[in-house]
Structure 1
């Protein structure tokens, strides 16, 4: 199996140097960039499996870079930022990031999150197209082997976390899933009551799969309980 390639994007060389030590010890191949523009250049030349992306950078910050990356790429993105306010976290996740880690952070925690994201992304992308891997709701098709989502034959671009939430709800059609259960099933972590992460992801999914996100056809809100796909 080829070494997973991680792109580290941060304008603080000491942080990249520290992460490089830990990641190389885990057997990962590392690429470096100091801002969003450099990161985009790297992605044009290299195949990358996961990106660790700082938010506050010169020339092109992490938010703008994430938006541009998501126009073409689906690999997991973990945001880094010294900001720890809920709105900053929500903004990062709204642009297409799959996870968010506040500085200062424990390198071992970040390594664990990288491993988790890579496992999930690899699992979702392994296999060949096969009807056994397809889930359908009306004209919405989800292929769990190729990680493709199509609406009336048109391919939609979902992040790995968005895909995992949609797959969960479609696979259990008719079942209402609370925000807590969705978070714990997809993120594999304990849920905190103040965390708006699931709601942000549901909103982004609806923007991609619904003709009118305010009147969703696929993902229904059961007020006071959670979400379901009918």
Structure 2
């Protein structure tokens, strides 16, 4: 099935060029001129990837990116005329997978889309103990249907939240550096800041508010367990 890409861009010329180029390569494309309309699409027919402008009428691209990241790890490529380093860092730290400055070549955008999709290939995760479930204290992870329970209650988690929780649960009391977590969760070709790790941990702590996911100062994180 063709991948569905949502292009959020208010410039008609860029809309037409990007849409025509992606459709020619076999993608299904929905063009939206505002983040508000994009959010309506997300709730009804979520795309497999967003190509997102930053300077939009109403809600800007940064805010939209942040809202999406609170719910999903769907790939986001940011396209923007804002070319300062701080703009790129902010876009990546809010959850963007790539940042492309205007003007850009449609061919380069296509190449980056394909690279990001390769990074997001579904992965088959298997438990080290072969039981199909991992339990540490009050945290239970079921691998077959990718469900997470904490203190007996099911928790809604994104793909990356699931993968990080599983990594910690299979290695209780082991400290992971931020760099190691970047490689294990995002892949070796991820070029964003390790602030992405801090942001993901923050989201997990917000959902599982008293989970003993501890900061190892100056290094990274570990999941503390009372079990032997």
- For normalisation by structure 2, the TM-score amounts to 0.73
| Equivalence for 2:214 | 220
- 2:114 aligned with 1:115: no
Q: Which runs of 5+ in 2 are unaligned?
A: none
| Equivalence for 1:7 | 6
RMSD: 3.4
Distance 1:86 1:114 in 2: 25
| Equivalence for 2:223 | 229
Using the TM superposition, give the Cα deviation of residue 142 of structure 1 relative to its aligned residue in structure 2, in angstroms. 2.8
Residues 77 and 56 of structure 1, relative CA distance in 2, 3 Å threshold: farther
Distance 1:189 1:18 in 2: 32
Task: State the structure with more CA Rg.
Answer: 2
The residue matched to 1:221 in structure 2 has which SS?
A: strand
Using the TM superposition, give the Cα deviation of residue 204 of structure 1 relative to its aligned residue in structure 2, in angstroms. 2.3
Residues 178 and 68 of structure 1, relative CA distance in 2, 3 Å threshold: closer
Aligned length: 214
Residues 178 and 44 of structure 1, relative CA distance in 2, 3 Å threshold: closer
| Equivalence for 1:202 | 201
Using the TM superposition, give the Cα deviation of residue 135 of structure 1 relative to its aligned residue in structure 2, in angstroms. 2.4
| Equivalence for 1:214 | none
Q: Which runs of 5+ in 1 are unaligned?
A: 212-216
| Equivalence for 2:72 | 74
Using the TM superposition, give the Cα deviation of residue 57 of structure 1 relative to its aligned residue in structure 2, in angstroms. 0.9
The residue matched to 2:10 in structure 1 has which SS?
A: coil
Using the TM superposition, give the Cα deviation of residue 58 of structure 1 relative to its aligned residue in structure 2, in angstroms. 0.6
| Equivalence for 1:178 | 177
Deviations 1:197-227 (A, max 9, x none): 222222222222223xxxxx43222223322
Residues 11 and 229 of structure 1, relative CA distance in 2, 3 Å threshold: same
Instruction: Point out 4+ residue stretches in structure 1 off by more than 6 angstroms.
Output: 191-194
| Equivalence for 2:136 | 137
| Equivalence for 1:103 | 101
